[in-house]
Amino acid sequence: MALQSVLQCFFAVCLFSTPSKGELESDASSVIQLSHSLGSRPFEPRGQINVRSLKSGSVNIQQDSSHDWKDYKEAAEANEFYHLEAFVKYNGIERTFLTSTKACLLYESQLADIITIHVDLLGNIYGVSVATPHSQQCTGTVPEFEPNFNTTVLISYMEHGPVPDVAMYVQKVEQEKVAKERGETKDNRSFIAKYWMYIVPLVLVFMMSGASNPEQPAR
């Protein structure tokens, strides 16, 4: 039974193991519409990412900034966040993802940002995130610049987790089974661990007999 259970687990692992980057089950083209906002301002269109192939990582981005340089400066000074909304159409599925970063980081990087498309093992887009190549600390003022995005688009592929060594485990189980049948296994348990089922009833009997025959008080 133990061997059968192990084999069932092994087959389950095989069934749920899916292709990685070069063997994605789905590689349909997709369009990601981008909108953005500073602080609590309403979202405005930013552009779109055209994904031609997730396998090859072929993408291109078309975008423009609908905010002025002063807008980013004010948001940075107010310690507000820059929000990016990504509306994804892929494999007949529509999803919206929201991601944010500090406005001061984007401002000090002069609108250089990194948009990452996260893809699962089945080839589905399950997330979009934005970050900046700038450090995690905002340092201060930045000279005036043209508010044009300099964006790098990356694709992040989910990876397989570690696979258990089923063959070695099955071999160990079989060896222990054979040794047990031959009587070669040694029981290294303590005396109490071996015979507790006999010791406990005796202790209870002595305790009960002592309680039922209390000592007579001396006269």
* Average pLDDT per block of 10 residues along the chain, 219 residues long: 38 37 61 93 92 81 81 90 92 89 91 91 87 80 82 84 67 75 68 78 79 57
Does residue 166 lie within any of the structural domains?
no
pLDDT of residue 54: 75
Does residue 192 lie within any of the structural domains?
no
**Residues 77 and 103 sit within 8 Å (Cβ to Cβ):** no
- Domain span at residue 123? 30-157
The answer to whether the pTM exceeds 0.85 is no
- Angle of helix 166-182 relative to helix 2-16, nearest 10 degrees, comes to 180
DSSP-assigned beta bridge partners for residue 101: 82
Does residue 21 lie within any of the structural domains?
no
pLDDT of residue 80: 94
Nearest to 89 by CA among 30, 24, 48: 30
Does residue 107 lie within any of the structural domains?
yes
Does residue 45 lie within any of the structural domains?
yes
Query: Tokens in use for 79?
Result: 């310690």
Does residue 83 lie within any of the structural domains?
yes
Does residue 86 lie within any of the structural domains?
yes
Does residue 184 lie within any of the structural domains?
no
pLDDT of residue 8: 37
Q: Which residues contact 35 (CB under 8 A, 6 or more apart)?
A: 43, 44, 45, 46, 84, 85, 87
pLDDT of residue 135: 67
Q: How many domains does the structure of the chain reveal?
A: 1
